[in-house]
Amino acid sequence: MTESSLASLTHAPVNPESVYRDQWLTLLDKNGVRRPTDLLVIAAPGIVAQLTRGEPSGSLKLDESPGSVLMVNLSPVQALRQVRNQRSFVSHMLNWDMTLMPIGTRSEWSWNSTCDRFDVIIPPDALGEEHQIETVDRFLFRDANLRGLCRELCREIILRDRADRLHIEMLAIEMAELLFCEYSTSYERAKAIPKGGLTRNCAKKVIEYAEANLARGLTLRELAGIAQLSAHHFVRMFKKTLGVTPYQYLLERRVERAKDLLRGKRVSLAEVALSSGFGSQSHFTSAFHRAVGATPAEFQRLVRKAI
Protein backbone atom coordinates (compact mmCIF):
# COMPACT_ATOMS: atom_id res chain seq x y z
CA MET A 1 0.00 0.00 0.00
CA THR A 2 1.11 3.57 -0.63
CA GLU A 3 1.01 6.51 1.75
CA SER A 4 -1.71 8.24 -0.28
CA SER A 5 -3.91 5.13 -0.24
CA LEU A 6 -3.66 4.89 3.56
CA ALA A 7 -4.50 8.58 3.94
CA SER A 8 -7.65 8.08 1.91
CA LEU A 9 -8.60 5.04 3.99
CA THR A 10 -7.98 6.47 7.46
CA HIS A 11 -9.75 9.76 6.69
CA ALA A 12 -12.44 8.61 4.25
CA PRO A 13 -16.06 9.54 5.13
CA VAL A 14 -17.39 6.30 3.57
CA ASN A 15 -16.78 2.72 4.59
CA PRO A 16 -13.34 1.77 3.14
CA GLU A 17 -12.92 -1.67 4.71
CA SER A 18 -13.59 -3.63 1.53
CA VAL A 19 -11.07 -1.50 -0.42
CA TYR A 20 -8.29 -2.21 2.09
CA ARG A 21 -9.22 -5.90 2.28
CA ASP A 22 -9.07 -6.26 -1.51
CA GLN A 23 -5.69 -4.49 -1.62
CA TRP A 24 -4.28 -6.85 1.01
CA LEU A 25 -5.58 -9.95 -0.74
CA THR A 26 -4.06 -8.71 -4.00
CA LEU A 27 -0.74 -8.27 -2.19
CA LEU A 28 -0.91 -11.85 -0.88
CA ASP A 29 -1.64 -13.14 -4.39
CA LYS A 30 1.28 -11.14 -5.79
CA ASN A 31 3.66 -12.70 -3.24
CA GLY A 32 2.33 -16.22 -3.75
CA VAL A 33 0.79 -16.48 -0.26
CA ARG A 34 -2.47 -18.40 -0.05
CA ARG A 35 -5.44 -16.50 1.31
CA PRO A 36 -6.30 -16.70 5.03
CA THR A 37 -9.36 -18.39 6.48
CA ASP A 38 -10.65 -15.04 7.71
CA LEU A 39 -9.64 -11.43 7.09
CA LEU A 40 -11.55 -8.71 8.93
CA VAL A 41 -10.82 -4.98 8.59
CA ILE A 42 -11.95 -1.85 10.40
CA ALA A 43 -11.01 1.58 9.08
CA ALA A 44 -11.90 4.77 10.91
CA PRO A 45 -10.39 8.26 11.25
CA GLY A 46 -6.89 7.71 12.61
CA ILE A 47 -6.67 3.94 12.27
CA VAL A 48 -6.80 0.87 10.05
CA ALA A 49 -6.96 -2.43 11.93
CA GLN A 50 -6.82 -5.91 10.42
CA LEU A 51 -7.56 -9.24 12.08
CA THR A 52 -6.10 -12.19 10.15
CA ARG A 53 -6.89 -15.77 11.06
CA GLY A 54 -5.53 -18.91 9.46
CA GLU A 55 -3.02 -17.32 7.09
CA PRO A 56 -0.84 -20.07 5.53
CA SER A 57 2.96 -19.95 5.74
CA GLY A 58 4.76 -17.71 3.27
CA SER A 59 6.73 -14.51 2.81
CA LEU A 60 5.91 -10.91 1.90
CA LYS A 61 7.76 -7.88 0.63
CA LEU A 62 6.11 -4.60 1.61
CA ASP A 63 6.65 -1.11 0.23
CA GLU A 64 7.24 1.87 2.48
CA SER A 65 4.84 1.74 5.40
CA PRO A 66 2.26 4.57 5.16
CA GLY A 67 2.06 4.92 8.94
CA SER A 68 3.34 3.35 12.12
CA VAL A 69 2.60 -0.39 11.95
CA LEU A 70 1.96 -2.49 15.05
CA MET A 71 1.81 -6.24 14.47
CA VAL A 72 0.53 -8.49 17.28
CA ASN A 73 0.96 -12.27 17.19
CA LEU A 74 -2.24 -14.11 18.16
CA SER A 75 -0.91 -17.61 17.46
CA PRO A 76 0.40 -19.63 20.46
CA VAL A 77 3.94 -19.47 18.98
CA GLN A 78 4.98 -18.09 15.60
CA ALA A 79 8.43 -18.40 14.03
CA LEU A 80 8.98 -15.10 12.23
CA ARG A 81 11.79 -13.51 10.25
CA GLN A 82 11.73 -9.72 9.83
CA VAL A 83 14.04 -7.70 7.59
CA ARG A 84 14.09 -3.90 7.50
CA ASN A 85 16.63 -1.10 7.40
CA GLN A 86 19.31 -3.67 6.44
CA ARG A 87 18.69 -5.52 9.71
CA SER A 88 17.40 -9.07 10.05
CA PHE A 89 15.70 -10.47 13.13
CA VAL A 90 14.52 -14.06 13.66
CA SER A 91 12.44 -15.01 16.67
CA HIS A 92 9.73 -17.27 18.02
CA MET A 93 6.96 -14.81 18.82
CA LEU A 94 4.78 -15.87 21.74
CA ASN A 95 1.07 -15.12 22.03
CA TRP A 96 0.60 -11.29 22.28
CA ASP A 97 4.24 -10.55 21.41
CA MET A 98 4.44 -7.40 19.29
CA THR A 99 6.61 -5.72 16.69
CA LEU A 100 6.50 -2.02 15.81
CA MET A 101 7.63 -0.47 12.53
CA PRO A 102 7.96 3.29 11.86
CA ILE A 103 6.46 5.14 8.91
CA GLY A 104 8.31 4.94 5.58
CA THR A 105 9.93 1.56 6.25
CA ARG A 106 10.35 -1.11 3.59
CA SER A 107 10.16 -4.60 5.05
CA GLU A 108 10.24 -8.33 4.39
CA TRP A 109 8.38 -10.94 6.46
CA SER A 110 8.63 -14.73 6.47
CA TRP A 111 6.74 -17.24 8.63
CA ASN A 112 6.81 -21.03 8.46
CA SER A 113 3.39 -22.02 9.81
CA THR A 114 -0.23 -20.91 9.71
CA CYS A 115 -0.59 -17.69 11.66
CA ASP A 116 -3.19 -15.57 13.43
CA ARG A 117 -2.31 -11.92 13.97
CA PHE A 118 -3.65 -8.42 14.48
CA ASP A 119 -2.21 -5.49 12.53
CA VAL A 120 -2.78 -1.80 13.23
CA ILE A 121 -1.71 1.15 11.07
CA ILE A 122 -1.67 4.59 12.72
CA PRO A 123 -1.04 7.59 10.41
CA PRO A 124 1.46 10.22 11.61
CA ASP A 125 -1.27 12.87 12.01
CA ALA A 126 -3.67 10.74 14.08
CA LEU A 127 -3.30 13.27 16.93
CA GLY A 128 -3.17 16.33 14.65
CA GLU A 129 -0.37 18.14 12.88
CA GLU A 130 1.15 19.47 16.11
CA HIS A 131 1.68 15.96 17.54
CA GLN A 132 3.21 13.96 14.70
CA ILE A 133 3.75 10.28 15.53
CA GLU A 134 7.19 9.02 14.49
CA THR A 135 7.66 5.72 16.27
CA VAL A 136 10.88 3.91 17.05
CA ASP A 137 11.66 0.54 15.45
CA ARG A 138 11.01 -2.40 17.81
CA PHE A 139 11.48 -5.94 16.57
CA LEU A 140 10.04 -7.74 19.61
CA PHE A 141 8.36 -6.46 22.78
CA ARG A 142 5.32 -6.80 25.04
CA ASP A 143 3.07 -4.01 26.33
CA ALA A 144 0.09 -4.65 28.62
CA ASN A 145 -1.60 -1.34 27.77
CA LEU A 146 -1.34 -1.90 24.02
CA ARG A 147 -2.59 -5.44 24.53
CA GLY A 148 -5.71 -4.14 26.30
CA LEU A 149 -6.47 -1.70 23.47
CA CYS A 150 -5.89 -4.36 20.83
CA ARG A 151 -8.22 -6.75 22.65
CA GLU A 152 -11.00 -4.14 22.56
CA LEU A 153 -10.37 -3.43 18.89
CA CYS A 154 -10.49 -7.16 18.14
CA ARG A 155 -13.87 -7.39 19.86
CA GLU A 156 -15.18 -4.52 17.73
CA ILE A 157 -13.77 -5.86 14.47
CA ILE A 158 -15.49 -9.22 15.01
CA LEU A 159 -18.85 -7.39 15.27
CA ARG A 160 -18.42 -6.21 11.65
CA ASP A 161 -21.36 -3.93 10.73
CA ARG A 162 -22.55 -3.87 14.35
CA ALA A 163 -19.27 -2.37 15.62
CA ASP A 164 -19.52 0.85 17.63
CA ARG A 165 -17.78 3.45 15.45
CA LEU A 166 -17.44 5.97 18.30
CA HIS A 167 -15.75 3.35 20.45
CA ILE A 168 -13.36 2.53 17.61
CA GLU A 169 -12.44 6.23 17.24
CA MET A 170 -11.83 6.44 20.99
CA LEU A 171 -9.59 3.37 20.91
CA ALA A 172 -7.70 4.83 17.92
CA ILE A 173 -6.94 8.01 19.85
CA GLU A 174 -5.91 6.07 22.97
CA MET A 175 -3.57 3.90 20.93
CA ALA A 176 -2.13 6.91 19.08
CA GLU A 177 -1.53 8.71 22.41
CA LEU A 178 0.21 5.65 23.86
CA LEU A 179 2.46 5.27 20.82
CA PHE A 180 3.19 9.01 20.86
CA CYS A 181 4.08 9.14 24.57
CA GLU A 182 5.89 5.81 24.91
CA TYR A 183 7.33 4.95 21.49
CA SER A 184 7.62 8.16 19.46
CA THR A 185 10.85 9.99 18.69
CA SER A 186 8.89 13.25 18.33
CA TYR A 187 7.42 13.28 21.86
CA GLU A 188 10.04 15.50 23.48
CA ARG A 189 9.89 18.22 20.84
CA ALA A 190 6.09 18.29 20.51
CA LYS A 191 3.95 21.13 21.74
CA ALA A 192 2.51 20.61 25.20
CA ILE A 193 -0.85 18.86 25.28
CA PRO A 194 -3.54 21.15 26.81
CA LYS A 195 -4.39 20.26 30.40
CA GLY A 196 -7.58 22.30 30.88
CA GLY A 197 -11.18 21.23 30.33
CA LEU A 198 -14.07 22.51 28.27
CA THR A 199 -15.70 25.81 29.15
CA ARG A 200 -19.12 25.49 30.77
CA ASN A 201 -20.80 26.92 27.67
CA CYS A 202 -18.91 24.56 25.36
CA ALA A 203 -19.73 21.54 27.54
CA LYS A 204 -23.40 22.59 27.54
CA LYS A 205 -23.50 22.73 23.73
CA VAL A 206 -21.88 19.31 23.37
CA ILE A 207 -24.18 17.67 25.94
CA GLU A 208 -27.31 19.22 24.42
CA TYR A 209 -26.26 18.04 20.97
CA ALA A 210 -25.52 14.54 22.27
CA GLU A 211 -28.89 14.35 24.04
CA ALA A 212 -30.75 15.49 20.92
CA ASN A 213 -29.00 12.84 18.80
CA LEU A 214 -28.71 10.01 21.30
CA ALA A 215 -30.80 7.61 19.20
CA ARG A 216 -28.39 7.61 16.25
CA GLY A 217 -24.74 6.77 15.76
CA LEU A 218 -22.57 9.73 16.77
CA THR A 219 -18.93 10.04 15.80
CA LEU A 220 -16.10 11.51 17.80
CA ARG A 221 -15.26 14.00 15.03
CA GLU A 222 -18.88 15.14 15.03
CA LEU A 223 -18.88 15.91 18.75
CA ALA A 224 -15.43 17.51 18.55
CA GLY A 225 -16.76 19.74 15.77
CA ILE A 226 -19.43 21.12 18.11
CA ALA A 227 -16.63 22.10 20.50
CA GLN A 228 -14.48 23.35 17.57
CA LEU A 229 -11.58 21.16 18.69
CA SER A 230 -9.55 18.33 17.20
CA ALA A 231 -10.82 14.90 18.26
CA HIS A 232 -7.64 14.32 20.27
CA HIS A 233 -7.95 17.54 22.32
CA PHE A 234 -11.71 17.15 22.66
CA VAL A 235 -11.40 13.72 24.32
CA ARG A 236 -8.90 15.02 26.88
CA MET A 237 -10.84 18.19 27.66
CA PHE A 238 -14.22 16.41 27.82
CA LYS A 239 -12.85 13.90 30.34
CA LYS A 240 -11.24 16.70 32.35
CA THR A 241 -14.62 18.43 32.65
CA LEU A 242 -17.05 15.50 33.04
CA GLY A 243 -14.77 12.84 34.50
CA VAL A 244 -15.54 10.28 31.77
CA THR A 245 -14.70 9.90 28.09
CA PRO A 246 -17.28 10.86 25.45
CA TYR A 247 -17.85 7.17 24.74
CA GLN A 248 -18.46 6.39 28.42
CA TYR A 249 -20.79 9.38 28.76
CA LEU A 250 -22.91 8.38 25.75
CA LEU A 251 -23.04 4.77 26.92
CA GLU A 252 -24.30 5.86 30.35
CA ARG A 253 -26.92 8.18 28.83
CA ARG A 254 -28.12 5.49 26.42
CA VAL A 255 -28.53 3.02 29.28
CA GLU A 256 -30.53 5.62 31.24
CA ARG A 257 -32.77 6.28 28.23
CA ALA A 258 -33.27 2.53 27.85
CA LYS A 259 -34.31 2.31 31.50
CA ASP A 260 -36.94 5.01 30.96
CA LEU A 261 -38.31 3.19 27.92
CA LEU A 262 -38.39 -0.14 29.75
CA ARG A 263 -40.34 1.50 32.60
CA GLY A 264 -42.94 2.85 30.18
CA LYS A 265 -45.44 1.21 27.88
CA ARG A 266 -44.80 -2.28 26.53
CA VAL A 267 -42.21 -2.10 23.78
CA SER A 268 -39.97 -4.75 22.29
CA LEU A 269 -36.34 -4.92 23.33
CA ALA A 270 -35.34 -4.38 19.70
CA GLU A 271 -37.30 -1.08 19.68
CA VAL A 272 -35.69 0.00 22.95
CA ALA A 273 -32.23 -0.79 21.57
CA LEU A 274 -32.75 1.31 18.44
CA SER A 275 -34.44 4.20 20.29
CA SER A 276 -31.54 4.30 22.75
CA GLY A 277 -28.86 4.47 20.06
CA PHE A 278 -27.49 0.92 20.28
CA GLY A 279 -26.47 -0.63 16.97
CA SER A 280 -28.03 -4.01 17.73
CA GLN A 281 -30.08 -5.80 20.36
CA SER A 282 -27.10 -7.97 21.32
CA HIS A 283 -24.90 -4.91 21.89
CA PHE A 284 -27.74 -3.33 23.89
CA THR A 285 -28.18 -6.42 26.06
CA SER A 286 -24.47 -6.80 26.87
CA ALA A 287 -23.93 -3.07 27.57
CA PHE A 288 -27.07 -2.85 29.72
CA HIS A 289 -26.11 -5.94 31.71
CA ARG A 290 -22.60 -4.59 32.40
CA ALA A 291 -24.00 -1.25 33.58
CA VAL A 292 -27.07 -2.38 35.54
CA GLY A 293 -26.26 -5.93 36.63
CA ALA A 294 -29.37 -7.31 34.94
CA THR A 295 -30.41 -7.89 31.35
CA PRO A 296 -33.01 -5.55 29.82
CA ALA A 297 -35.62 -8.35 29.99
CA GLU A 298 -34.86 -8.96 33.68
CA PHE A 299 -35.01 -5.23 34.43
CA GLN A 300 -38.35 -4.94 32.61
CA ARG A 301 -39.83 -7.83 34.63
CA LEU A 302 -38.64 -6.33 37.92
CA VAL A 303 -40.15 -2.96 37.07
CA ARG A 304 -43.52 -4.50 36.19
CA LYS A 305 -43.59 -6.50 39.42
CA ALA A 306 -42.97 -3.31 41.41
CA ILE A 307 -45.95 -1.52 39.83
Burial of 195 (0-12, 13-18, 19+ CB in 10 A): exposed
Within 10 angstroms of residue 179's Cβ, the number of other Cβ atoms is 24
Which pLDDT score is estimated for 281?
Answer: 85
Average confidence (pLDDT) over 14-38: 88
* CATH 3.40.50.300 holds for 250-306: no
CB 140 within 8 A of CB 89: yes
Which class is 3-183 in CATH?
Answer: mainly beta
Query: Would you place residue 12 in the very low, low, confident or very high pLDDT band (cuts 50, 70, 90)?
Result: very low
Q: Tell me, what's the pLDDT at 103?
A: 92
pLDDT interval class at 6 (50, 70, 90): very low
Neighbours of 20 (CB within 10 A): 24
Residue 69 and residue 103: Cα distance in Å, rounded? 7
271: left (phi over 0), alpha (psi -120 to 50) or beta: alpha
Checking if the pLDDT of 159 tops 50, the result is yes
Averaged pLDDT for residues 251-280: 88
CA proximity to 290, closest of 303, 302, 299: 299
Q: What pLDDT was estimated at residue 210?
A: 93
Whether the pLDDT of residue 191 is over 70: the answer is no
Share of the chain above pLDDT 70, in %: 92
Cα separation, 206 vs 14, in Å, equals: 24
What pLDDT, on the 0 to 100 scale, is given for residue 5? Answer: 47
Average pLDDT, the chain: 87
pTM score of the predicted model: 0.78
Q: What is the pLDDT of residue 162?
A: 76
Residue type, 220: L
